[in-house]
Amino acid sequence: MGKSRDANDERYRERERRDKDYRKQLPGEDEDPLPPPVEPIHVEEKPKRNDPCPCGSGKKYKLCCGK
Residue 47 C-beta: closest distance to Zn ion, Å: 9
54 Cβ contact partners less than 8 Å away, ≥ 6 residues apart: 45, 47, 61, 65
Q: Which is closer to Zn ion, CB of 8 or CB of 57?
A: 57
Residue 66 C-beta: closest distance to Zn ion, Å: 7
Q: Does 57 bind Zn ion (CB under 5 A)?
A: yes
Q: Does 64 bind Zn ion (CB under 5 A)?
A: yes
Q: Does 63 bind Zn ion (CB under 5 A)?
A: no
Integer CA distances (angstroms), 10 to 15, 19, 21, 23, in order: 9, 14, 17, 20
